[in-house]
Amino acid sequence: MLDAGQSVNKLKILIVDDSELNRELLASMLEDEYEIYQVENGKKAIGILEKSREEFKLVLLDMNMPVMDGYEALSIMKRRKWLDRLPVIVISAEIGGESVRKAYELGASDYFVRPFNESIVSRRVRNTITLYDNISSNFNDAVMMLSTIFFRILKIDLKADTYEIIEHGDNDPLRECFQKESISECLMGLAEEGHIHEEDYKEYVEFCSIEHLKRIFSDGSQYASLQYRRVIDGEYRWISMEIVRSTEYREDNQQVVMYVRDINDDYIKLLQMAMSHTLDSVGIVSANVSQGICLSFAGKKEELEGREGQSIDSYIEMISKMIPVDELRKNFCQKFSQKNMLKTFHEGKTDISMDTAFACSKEAQVSVLRVNVDMARNSFSKEIGAVLHFTDITAGYLVENVPQKIYQKNYENIIIIDANRKKMIKTDILSSVLSEYLKREELYEGWTSYDSQKDVVDSECEKFKKCVELSAIEEGLCKDKQFSFTVHEIDETGEVRLKRYSYIYVDKRLNIIVGAREDITEFSEKDVLVGGYNRRGFIRNTERFLNAASDRTQYAVLFFNIKNFKAVNELFGVENGDVVLRNIYKTLKYSRLAPVIVARVESDHFVCLIDKKNLDFAELTKVCENKFCKDGKRMNLIIRCGIFYVEDEPMKISGMIDRAKLAKKYITDEYVQPYMIYDDSMQAAYVDKAKLTGELQEGIAQEQFKVYYQPVIDAKTGKIASAEALIRWIHPEKGFISPGLFIPAIEEDGHISELDFYVLKKVWQFINERYEKNKFVVPVSVNLSWMDFYDEVMMETIIKEIDQFKEVGREYMTRFEITETSYAAIRENRSDILESFRIRNTKILLDDFGSGFSSFGMLQDYDFDILKIDMSFIRKMEENPKTKSIVRNIIGMAHEMDIETVAEGVETEEQVRFLKQSGCDYIQGYYYSRPLPEDEFIEFLEKESLKN
């Protein structure tokens, strides 16, 4: 813990976490800017805060600790009313979920997720402290103003019979009476000690009864008051006790605020004097509500001034013309009419408030003003007086109304667009300091308005220009709650990074839009199962590392493959199979090979970049000899490794991975030597996949890619029910290129969406042509990569096409298949697109079910229409009886969830017979038909139409 004398000018933060490592990590991120104190449990934290909580600006609180956990500590802080002035950010291991929800209910301001991201930690700490400082400042200003009117202000919890003193006038001779534990003791003590006039004693005691006050506010009342006489300086003076229902009022937290004031003097004059000193008001109007006239005007906005003696209704009508929305204008005039003010006052309420937008002219910036009316009866004239004050809350309004997801991301830039006026404000932070940015309004001119436009890669400039047109943004927001698109940009180091631009309405009525730019490169490079890099992440980070290395030949790329990994899933189950994959990743990462970068590139395949000096073959052999034990079962895991020594000549990282993978295939006996080093003799068997990606555009343009259709047969009728669209590349020089070669190459190069879109358009064309010729056709499913879901233009086009299909009753003709890997990558951020497909009657198929990932968890997360059982199960049914049990149970489980099943890779009559007996709905495989080129598929359909 830092010594308090080390940094007298720094703000203090208390870190509460039982993990010394976590405390030190957070301290290292924050100690340059703040003075850090550390304790290891909630009990010690409460002890420190009990004595000196006013000294701290923020508490970072872990929720799971010994002695006293974060929940109990937070409960104590809430119960003692500390959270009104002291913000708490909780530390959690999970994103969202029950623990975070519970923390918010207990009063937490925000939360971090481990592992910590330094930029997010710094930004949220700074924003939270800034926000609370401004709230505290505004609160103190308000209390100072009110203290000229009320000599006592108390915040009371009726249910707990507790109170907090907000203001206690120095000149109040009875302040010592408010030293007792409960509010009921304090209030009754005044009566019992003879401070209340005998004629008012009974009414005072009845009114101040806690049970009486509970009944008043539990019935829905917002306000209660009592006038009584009290001894002050030896004489009785009339006192008004006014109790207002707090905005924090809940059934389990009955918060009210009590104001006590002397009404022997002219209250209206005091109120008007106090309000005239309100620094944050842009306009103040004094009025006589009983007579319905305005008395005086003051403030910074001339547009809010009227004339002395002007009627209240005329004044309200005049300024309402600056409200740009008809509905808001009408509501404003009704709410602040003389009639409604009188009605409100006679109902026992003394204030009216409304937040609304004002624009002095069509060209002027829209401001959001909070309009308040405070009313009171003059104790002498008995007339009702009021003060209207206008406060500019534009910055706060924007911050509060921006959807919460904006705060949960580490956005690089934020833009606020007034679409009606085609004006914008650029900012990099959403907090109360936004008011400074509001002064820097400029014209919105599409792509030229973005500083980042110069960084967009050349091939995506046109897409960027189209997507940031205001008309495109508004059109996108009309269709969905959020409009977003992705582009690749080159950063200052020359590295290409993936950026997502997202737009959301702040206020649709005013056509105010907030846009944000986010770097999602890291997200697209993460493997959700093991928590490390995926193939894309390995390629980018390895390339960056080797480019910076003084001698790249000192490094090697290692490719690992678990032999017969499917057996792990069959023996131990898929969830335990996932545990094995995570264990292998950790084994590699923390081995003596000391890898610089580790990644899971697919399924059970891992790659590492290591320094050759750490390439100890004895250690490598040890790493390759792994085992897994569970419930008394034990399985030896054989891991094979291919090695490629990085050469001095430039080469794509994907080429290095492929060469290491190729070397692995030359292992003759993994029990003797589980590794093999790549050499030039293997070159003849290697096809450089990187060259294929460079020929993609030409291949699409020349239609070298052909769509094949594999029929899917109804198991009960034996007739065709649907088909799956598969892509084949017939290269003019290389001939037939295996999809297993070119699809991974195109996917890792980031161009898989172009190929998927090509297939989709060909399928749509085929279906439409069959319909137009009045020919028999069946639904066709198309495979989508996870990257497709981040291509906004592609998704928008798909939805448009489905809508057009729906107009002619064909929406069910297109289906989409996604693999377990793809769903895992999109379920956090893009599952809403799947839902957009579903509401348009488009079926979603989960492909390759049981292929080694968290299949069963995914069935809990999303209601898939059809489940496609991975062909690896089908092929092993005849050799392994257990596999039949697995398949039969998958079918039964799916049916219980109203999900239909398709068995892939069916080749024998015995397999067909078993699947029919097990209740499988559909069968796909060579037993019925191989994938057919379009002309042969048409012949197949013609024959099927005769059957039908």
Beta strands in 317-408 (DSSP E): 351-358, 367-377, 384-392
Please report which confidence band the pLDDT of residue 1 belongs to, taking 50, 70 and 90 as the band edges: very low
Rounded to whole angstroms, how far apart are CA atoms 514 and 279? 29
- At 827 the pLDDT is 65
pLDDT tens profile 766-785: 999 999 899 999 999 999 88
Identify whether residues 617 and 736 lie together within a single domain.
no
Q: Please report whether residue 447 resides in a domain.
A: yes
The yes-or-no verdict on residue 351 having pLDDT over 70 is yes
Terminal-to-terminal C-alpha distance of the chain: 81
- Cα separations (Å) of 791 from 498, 632, 755? 11, 47, 13
Tokens standing for residue 68 = 């006293």
Comparison of pLDDT for 297 and 461, the residue scoring more = 461
Task: Tell me whether residue 527 is exposed, middle or buried, using C-beta atoms within 10 angstroms of its C-beta: 0 to 12, 13 to 18, 19 or more.
Answer: buried
Q: Please report whether residue 532 resides in a domain.
A: yes
Contact 406, 504 (CB under 8 A): yes
Alpha helix segments (H runs only) across 564-715: 566-572, 574-589, 617-624, 653-664, 689-694, 696-701
Which of these ranges, 291-300, 630-639, 794-803, has the smallest mean pLDDT? 630-639
Comparison of pLDDT for 61 and 441, the residue scoring more = 61
- At 136 the pLDDT is 55
Q: Please report whether residue 93 resides in a domain.
A: yes
Identify whether residues 805 and 919 lie together within a single domain.
yes
Contact 535, 656 (CB under 8 A): no
Rounded to whole angstroms, how far apart are CA atoms 145 and 276? 10
Identify whether residues 232 and 112 lie together within a single domain.
no
% residues pLDDT > 90 (the chain): 27
pLDDT tens profile 851-882: 654 456 567 767 789 999 988 888 888 777 88
Please choose, from the candidates 265, 222, 261, the residue with its C-alpha nearest in 3D space to the C-alpha of residue 241: 261
Of 264, 297, 332, which residue constitutes the final position of a domain?
A: 264
DSSP letters spanning 168-182: E-TT-TTGGGGGSSS
Please report which confidence band the pLDDT of residue 400 belongs to, taking 50, 70 and 90 as the band edges: low
Tokens standing for residue 668 = 């003759």
- Cα separations (Å) of 10 from 5, 32, 57, 86, 184? 10, 9, 10, 16, 41
The yes-or-no verdict on residue 572 having pLDDT over 90 is no
% residues pLDDT > 70 (the chain): 85
Identify whether residues 215 and 292 lie together within a single domain.
no
Q: Give mean pLDDT, residues 366-385.
A: 78
Residue/partner pairs of 395-399 with CB below 8 Å, 24 or more apart: 395/432, 395/433, 395/434, 395/435, 395/438, 396/432, 397/355, 397/368, 398/368, 398/430, 398/434, 398/506, 398/512, 398/514, 399/430, 399/431, 399/432, 399/434
The yes-or-no verdict on residue 684 having pLDDT over 70 is no
CATH number at residue 239: 3.30.450.20
pLDDT tens profile 69-83: 888 998 888 877 787
pLDDT tens profile 272-301: 444 444 545 788 888 899 999 998 887 777
- At 513 the pLDDT is 87
Torsion of CA 574, 94, 503, 435, to 10 degrees: -170
Highest mean pLDDT among 358-372, 724-738, 852-866: 724-738
Identify whether residues 12 and 99 lie together within a single domain.
yes
- At 546 the pLDDT is 94
Task: Tell me whether residue 636 is exposed, middle or buried, using C-beta atoms within 10 angstroms of its C-beta: 0 to 12, 13 to 18, 19 or more.
Answer: exposed
- At 828 the pLDDT is 56
Beta bridge partners of 242: 225, 259
Comparison of pLDDT for 43 and 396, the residue scoring more = 43
Torsion of CA 248, 250, 252, 257, to 10 degrees: 50
The yes-or-no verdict on residue 889 having pLDDT over 70 is yes
Please report which confidence band the pLDDT of residue 303 belongs to, taking 50, 70 and 90 as the band edges: confident
Identify whether residues 276 and 255 lie together within a single domain.
no
Comparison of pLDDT for 184 and 790, the residue scoring more = 184
Q: Please report whether residue 934 resides in a domain.
A: yes
Which of these ranges, 280-284, 729-733, 735-739, 806-810, has the smallest mean pLDDT? 280-284
Comparison of pLDDT for 166 and 473, the residue scoring more = 473
Contact 40, 61 (CB under 8 A): no
CATH number at residue 436: 3.30.450
Of 637, 660, 690, which residue constitutes the final position of a domain?
A: 690
Please report which confidence band the pLDDT of residue 401 belongs to, taking 50, 70 and 90 as the band edges: low
pLDDT tens profile 587-623: 999 999 999 999 998 888 999 999 999 999 999 998 8
- At 6 the pLDDT is 43
Q: Please report whether residue 945 resides in a domain.
A: no
- At 338 the pLDDT is 94
CB atoms within 10 A of CB 298: 16
The yes-or-no verdict on residue 922 having pLDDT over 90 is yes
- At 432 the pLDDT is 40
Identify whether residues 406 and 491 lie together within a single domain.
yes
Rounded to whole angstroms, how far apart are CA atoms 500 and 790? 8
Of 376, 392, 408, which residue constitutes the final position of a domain?
A: 392
The contacts of residue 548 (CB under 8 Å, 6+ apart) are none
Please report which confidence band the pLDDT of residue 150 belongs to, taking 50, 70 and 90 as the band edges: low
Q: Please report whether residue 46 resides in a domain.
A: yes
Identify whether residues 663 and 680 lie together within a single domain.
yes
Q: Give mean pLDDT, residues 795-821.
A: 84
Domain that holds residue 253: 147-264
Q: Please report whether residue 334 resides in a domain.
A: yes
Identify whether residues 371 and 414 lie together within a single domain.
no
Identify whether residues 856 and 741 lie together within a single domain.
yes
Q: How many domains does the structure of the chain reveal?
A: 6
Claim: this prediction has a pTM higher than 0.85: no
Which of these ranges, 368-372, 674-678, 745-749, 791-795, has the smallest mean pLDDT? 745-749
CB atoms within 10 A of CB 617: 13
Q: Give mean pLDDT, residues 213-222.
A: 85
- At 438 the pLDDT is 56
- At 420 the pLDDT is 83
Identify whether residues 533 and 681 lie together within a single domain.
yes
Identify whether residues 375 and 452 lie together within a single domain.
no
Q: State the average pLDDT for the chain.
A: 82
CATH number at residue 684: 3.30.70.270
The yes-or-no verdict on residue 7 having pLDDT over 60 is no
Size (the chain), residues: 948
Q: Please report whether residue 858 resides in a domain.
A: yes
CATH number at residue 18: 3.40.50.2300
Rounded to whole angstroms, how far apart are CA atoms 888 and 667? 37
Contact 117, 409 (CB under 8 A): no
- At 678 the pLDDT is 92
Highest mean pLDDT among 3-12, 555-564, 740-749: 555-564
